[in-house]
């Protein structure tokens, strides 16, 4: 398909992106029914796998609390983006909705039903597992009714000294006061009656009020004065509950207080057009993000029905906006739960491993010329990548540095190296994708900082997202220019590399580097390259078509009686067309192994359709983020690392980069890593709608936990490198002595 056809969002492509649970467009002209799970339903299944980690007794206590926070944070974003999008589809009117191939109302109903069940499970885990285990270790999470006189005095003083300026009480007067609830902020909805009126009016009139819980200004968990070895904590919510009658509504009797939270639509509505100032559009949309329409109203299930109806009318909410929870919301705040220095209740430390061939090399560029290298954080230290840029900034032979910035740390040594490079007289070009969701503001700030430093900054294209993670360095060596490429499955982000499992590859391969330069040339000029891509697979050019060709080759090999296999590791598999090709491969006898962390719209194990497909998801202490594609290709495997998942958006509407792995040692290494993951029988779950995230059982007595196995696999390899270096040095000394 030509670039222009890919670049524009055609109506047929939009149709593919709106498929129902069971129908996708065939490769032929007709439409046929095949197994297919809607991406939002599959994503909820993934988030439940996160919740499973919180209930796993083998996971250390504070790590289980962290998984409660991750689950809640994930769910907040899901409602702000995906649910908000489906609500907007529901609101467009019946006539227009008929053009969709699924019913957004039914989808919303199913989402709410699933989430409500998960919330019940969340509360059960917290009350029946986490709280009792905290008590076993002397940590007590108290409510205001549990407090001693000394503790009551403490929270009285705490409220007056720290909270009073922020609580913002509002007495609700029907049809006169309509409060605006900030996105994601915590509030108490108060049921009260006037003390004087209650003596003369029977039955007394009930009033309502809203009080903000200032968790955006103060810690959510407050340590209380405790006796002996006890460690008492109270949540900020309960400090406010205790104080409202005495300090905020002294003329009222408080009949009840119920926590509420409103989540607002966070999707940026930016027209896909080719004129106008995209950066200004982004900035304008960012200013509106926190005032968008409601996408979820979370409330305490103990709230009286009459009060809930009052709030629904006041805030203009509908039934499918409602999500009942327990006494507390914003459980992502569990990230800040105090640990009291009890490190034995956390994961055993796995310090990142030094990679000597690059980190200890006399010259990092000479080491890359000698052979390709893999960096695999968080198992490997990220210093190899940082050194790549820092050495380039200071090396007098380096003339150019180019990089794509998708997400970047608030404090970044890489960005600092780029600024230093331009001061050292080098030409530095940075392409900044300002449409990286929830990182738009940070990317814009970095863009302005880099521009002020003299760096050549290019920004997003309207209608197209640049998602590849690639860097290119040009260095003069013996009068000739040599290029160096680093391509990663993850971002140039020094913070997330501590918890995201990604693979990056350094290479001086001339043809790959030439094509990487061609990609940067397109990003800088928006002119189509004169030559095609033969080594790299690049979104908008050859990515989808080449992937299909490789699947077709496996189908041909299987039909010819040859061994045929595909291994795909990625975050999400949702593209209907690619799923259909995998079904065709399975029917032809190709063995397909899927390692999918998140969304998996493909249904494995369906008789006659996907018998030869297995799918697992690994959720553990690190976020599985690497994308690896392997095609057996008649014994001459094609192995790639990629920035792209197999989603409609990645394969049709983004610039992605997929890098072939040619070095024999690295090819073996990647196959070893995939074998480890496919052998996981501790943290791997079977992906299948009827199996309910069932843990994958082992075939022997040995437990294999892929992330730990990977860490020690690399530790052994590095020890071998160090031993080899020691032996070489000893031999050198022996020869010198002789």
pLDDT in the model for residue 315: 85
pLDDT digits (tens, 9 = 90+) for 64-77: 999 999 999 999 88
CATH superfamily of 538-711: Endonuclease Chain A (3.30.870.10)
Confidence of residue 89 (pLDDT cuts 50, 70, 90): confident
Among 35-39, 207-211, 469-473, name the most confident range: 469-473
Strands 504-507, 480-488: pairing kind: antiparallel
- Helix locations, 131-183, DSSP H: 131-136, 149-158
Strands across the sheet containing 221-223: 139-142, 231-235, 221-223
pLDDT in the model for residue 282: 54
pLDDT digits (tens, 9 = 90+) for 388-412: 999 999 999 999 999 999 888 889 9
Inter-residue contact 384 to 358 (CB < 8 Å): yes
Mean pLDDT of the region 347-376 = 97
Tell me how far apart the alpha carbons of residues 373 and 355 are, in angstroms, rounded to a whole number: 10
Helix, strand counts (H, E) of the chain: 24, 30
* pLDDT reading at 444 higher than 90: no
Tell me how far apart the alpha carbons of residues 59 and 67 are, in angstroms, rounded to a whole number: 10
| 281-285-291 Cα angle (round to 5) | 165
CA dist list (Å): 717 to 19, 173, 369, 370, 376: 46, 70, 21, 18, 13
Least confident residue range of 153-157, 293-297, 330-334: 293-297
pLDDT in the model for residue 108: 87
The residue that leads in pLDDT, 455 or 83, is: 455
* pLDDT reading at 269 higher than 70: no
Residue 597: CB partners within 8 Å, gap ≥ 6?
46, 570, 571, 572, 617, 618, 619, 623, 624, 625
Tell me how far apart the alpha carbons of residues 596 and 548 are, in angstroms, rounded to a whole number: 19
The sign of the torsion formed by the CA atoms of 571, 574, 575, 577 equals positive
Confidence of residue 176 (pLDDT cuts 50, 70, 90): low
Strands 398-405, 186-194: pairing kind: unpaired
* pLDDT reading at 688 higher than 90: no
Active site residues: 467
* pLDDT reading at 3 higher than 50: no
Tell me how far apart the alpha carbons of residues 230 and 222 are, in angstroms, rounded to a whole number: 14
pLDDT in the model for residue 325: 83
pLDDT in the model for residue 264: 78
Find the radius of gyration of the CA atoms of the chain: 28
Inter-residue contact 502 to 673 (CB < 8 Å): no
Q: Would you tell me the crossing angle of helices 61-78 and 104-125 to the nearest 10 degrees?
A: 160
Mean pLDDT of the region 706-722 = 96
DSSP conformation class of 380: B
Mean pLDDT of the region 223-228 = 94
- List every span in the chain annotated with CATH 3.30.1840.10: 18-345
Mean pLDDT of the region 278-282 = 59
Q: Would you tell me the crossing angle of helices 149-158 and 236-243 to the nearest 10 degrees?
A: 90
pLDDT in the model for residue 271: 46
Phi, psi of 665 (to 5 degrees): -65, -40
> Strands, DSSP E only, in 143-205?
170-172, 186-194
pLDDT in the model for residue 440: 74
Confidence of residue 357 (pLDDT cuts 50, 70, 90): very high
* pLDDT reading at 334 higher than 80: yes
Phi, psi of 125 (to 5 degrees): -60, -45
Tell me how far apart the alpha carbons of residues 260 and 212 are, in angstroms, rounded to a whole number: 10
Mean pLDDT of the region 258-282 = 63
Confidence of residue 4 (pLDDT cuts 50, 70, 90): very low
> Strands, DSSP E only, in 236-362?
252-264, 294-300, 322-325
The residue that leads in pLDDT, 142 or 96, is: 142
Instruction: Report the b/e string of 684-697 with b at 16+ CB within 10 A.
Output: bbbbbeeeebebbe
pLDDT digits (tens, 9 = 90+) for 142-172: 998 899 999 999 999 999 999 988 888 888 8
Confidence of residue 321 (pLDDT cuts 50, 70, 90): confident
Tell me how far apart the alpha carbons of residues 382 and 384 are, in angstroms, rounded to a whole number: 5
pTM for the predicted model, two decimal places: 0.89
Cα–chain center distance at 523: 25
pLDDT in the model for residue 707: 98
Confidence of residue 731 (pLDDT cuts 50, 70, 90): low
* pLDDT reading at 485 higher than 90: yes
Phi, psi of 452 (to 5 degrees): -65, -30
- List every span in the chain annotated with CATH 3.30.870.10: 356-531, 538-711
* pLDDT reading at 268 higher than 70: no
Average pLDDT, the chain: 87
- Helix locations, 400-535, DSSP H: 413-423, 440-452, 510-525
| Helix/strand/coil for 733 | helix
Mean pLDDT of the region 542-562 = 97
Tell me how far apart the alpha carbons of residues 616 and 596 are, in angstroms, rounded to a whole number: 6
Asked if the bond preceding 111 is cis, omega within 30° of 0, the reply is: no
pLDDT in the model for residue 735: 44
CB atoms closer than 10 angstroms to residue 40: 19
Tell me how far apart the alpha carbons of residues 270 and 252 are, in angstroms, rounded to a whole number: 48
CA-wise closest residue to 373 among 488, 471, 492, 504:
504
Tell me how far apart the alpha carbons of residues 259 and 250 are, in angstroms, rounded to a whole number: 20
CA dist list (Å): 128 to 54, 55, 61, 122, 502: 12, 10, 13, 10, 36
Domain spanning 356-531, CATH class: alpha beta
Confidence of residue 728 (pLDDT cuts 50, 70, 90): low
Tell me how far apart the alpha carbons of residues 642 and 490 are, in angstroms, rounded to a whole number: 9
DSSP conformation class of 20: -
pLDDT in the model for residue 270: 46
* pLDDT reading at 273 higher than 80: no
Inter-residue contact 440 to 447 (CB < 8 Å): no
Mean pLDDT of the region 341-349 = 95
CA dist list (Å): 498 to 61, 390, 487, 618, 622: 20, 20, 18, 18, 8
pLDDT in the model for residue 99: 63
Least confident residue range of 276-280, 433-437, 442-446, 489-493: 276-280
Burial class of residue 29 (count of CB atoms within 10 Å of its CB; 0-12, 13-18, 19+): exposed
CATH architecture assigned to 18-345: 2-Layer Sandwich (3.30)
* pLDDT reading at 187 higher than 70: yes
| Helix/strand/coil for 403 | strand
CA dist list (Å): 432 to 172, 183, 237, 488: 46, 27, 40, 16
DSSP conformation class of 128: I
Tell me how far apart the alpha carbons of residues 304 and 283 are, in angstroms, rounded to a whole number: 41
Tell me how far apart the alpha carbons of residues 235 and 248 are, in angstroms, rounded to a whole number: 19
Confidence of residue 24 (pLDDT cuts 50, 70, 90): very low
Inter-residue contact 178 to 254 (CB < 8 Å): no
> Strands, DSSP E only, in 510-589?
537-538, 565-570
Inter-residue contact 243 to 236 (CB < 8 Å): no
Confidence of residue 729 (pLDDT cuts 50, 70, 90): low
Mean pLDDT of the region 702-719 = 96
* pLDDT reading at 340 higher than 50: yes
What are the DSSP calls for 91-124, one per residue? HT-HHHHTTSSS-HHHHHHHHHHHHHHHHHHHHH
Inter-residue contact 49 to 685 (CB < 8 Å): yes
């Amino acid at each position: 398909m030509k670039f222009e056809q890919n670049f524009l969002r055609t109506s047929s492509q939009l149709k593919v992106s709106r498929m129902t649970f069971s129908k996708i467009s065939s490769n032929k002209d007709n439409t046929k029914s095949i197994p297919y799970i809607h991406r939002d339903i599959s994503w909820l299944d993934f988030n439940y796998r996160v919740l499973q980690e919180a209930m796993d007794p083998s996971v250390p206590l504070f790590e289980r609390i962290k998984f409660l926070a991750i689950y809640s944070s994930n769910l907040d974003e899901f409602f702000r983006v995906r649910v908000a999008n489906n609500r907007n589809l529901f609101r467009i009117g019946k006539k227009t909705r008929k053009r969709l191939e699924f019913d957004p109302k039914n989808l919303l109903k199913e989402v709410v039903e699933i989430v409500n069940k998960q919330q019940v499970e969340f509360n059960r885990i917290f009350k029946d597992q986490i709280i009792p285990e905290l008590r076993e270790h002397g940590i007590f999470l108290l409510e205001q009714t549990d407090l001693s006189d000394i503790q009551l005095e403490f929270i009285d003083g705490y409220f007056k000294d720290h909270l009073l300026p922020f609580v913002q009480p509002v007495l609700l007067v029907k049809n006169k006061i309509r409060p605006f609830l900030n996105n994601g902020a915590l509030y108490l909805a108060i049921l009260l009656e006037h003390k004087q009126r209650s003596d003369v009016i029977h039955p007394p009139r009930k009033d309502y009020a809203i009080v903000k819980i200032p968790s955006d200004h103060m810690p959510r968990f407050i340590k209380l004065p405790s006796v002996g070895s006890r460690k008492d904590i109270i949540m900020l919510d309960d400090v406010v509950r205790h104080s409202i009658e005495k300090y905020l509504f002294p003329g009222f009797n408080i009949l009840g207080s119920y926590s509420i939270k409103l989540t607002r639509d966070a999707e940026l509505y930016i027209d896909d057009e080719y004129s106008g100032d995209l950066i200004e559009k982004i900035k304008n949309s960012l200013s509106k993000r926190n005032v968008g329409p409601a996408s979820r109203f979370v409330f305490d299930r103990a709230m009286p029905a009459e009060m809930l109806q009052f709030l629904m009318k006041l805030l203009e909410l509908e039934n499918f906006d409602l999500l009942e929870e327990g006494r507390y919301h914003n459980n992502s705040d569990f990230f800040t739960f105090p640990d009291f220095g009890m490190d034995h209740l956390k994961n055993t430390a796995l310090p990142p491993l030094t990679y000597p061939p690059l980190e200890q090399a006399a010259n990092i560029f000479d080491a890359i010329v000698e052979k390709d290298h893999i960096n695999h954080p968080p198992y490997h230290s990220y210093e190899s990548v940082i050194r790549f840029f820092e050495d380039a900034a200071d090396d007098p032979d380096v003339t150019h540095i180019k990089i794509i910035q998708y997400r970047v740390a608030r404090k970044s040594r890489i960005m600092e190296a780029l600024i230093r490079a331009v001061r050292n007289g080098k030409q530095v070009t940075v392409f900044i994708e300002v449409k990286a969701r929830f990182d738009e503001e940070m990317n814009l700030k970095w863009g302005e900082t880099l521009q002020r430093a003299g760096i050549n900054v290019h920004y997003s294209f309207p209608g197209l997202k640049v998602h590849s993670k690639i860097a290119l360095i040009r260095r003069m060596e013996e009068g000739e220019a040599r290029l160096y490429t680093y391509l990663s499955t993850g971002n140039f982000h020094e913070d997330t590399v501590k918890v995201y499992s990604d693979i990056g590859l350094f290479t001086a391969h001339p043809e790959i580097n030439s094509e990487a330069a061609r990609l940067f040339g397109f990003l800088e000029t928006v002119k189509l390259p004169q030559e095609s891509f033969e080594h790299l697979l690049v979104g908008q050019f050859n990515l989808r078509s080449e992937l299909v060709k490789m699947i077709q080759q496996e189908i041909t090999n299987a039909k010819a009686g040859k061994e045929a296999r595909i291994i795909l590791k990625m975050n999400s598999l949702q593209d209907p067309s690619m799923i259909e090709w995998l079904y065709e491969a399975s029917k032809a006898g190709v063995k397909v192994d899927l390692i999918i962390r998140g969304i998996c719209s493909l249904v494995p194990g369906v008789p006659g359709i996907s018998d030869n497909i297995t799918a697992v998801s690994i959720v553990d202490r690190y976020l599985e983020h690497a994308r690896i594609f392997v095609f057996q290709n008649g014994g001459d495997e094609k192995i790639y690392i990629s920035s792209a998942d197999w989603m409609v958006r990645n394969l049709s509407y983004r610039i992605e980069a997929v890098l072939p792995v040619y070095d024999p040692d690295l090819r073996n290494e990647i196959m070893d890593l995939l074998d480890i993951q496919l052998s996981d029988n501790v943290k791997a779950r079977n992906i299948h709608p009827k199996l309910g995230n069932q843990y994958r059982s082992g075939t022997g007595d040995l437990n294999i936990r892929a992330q730990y196995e990977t860490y020690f696999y690399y530790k052994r390899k590095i020890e071998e490198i160090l031993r080899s270096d020691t032996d070489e040095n000893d031999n050198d000394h022996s020869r010198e002595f002789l």
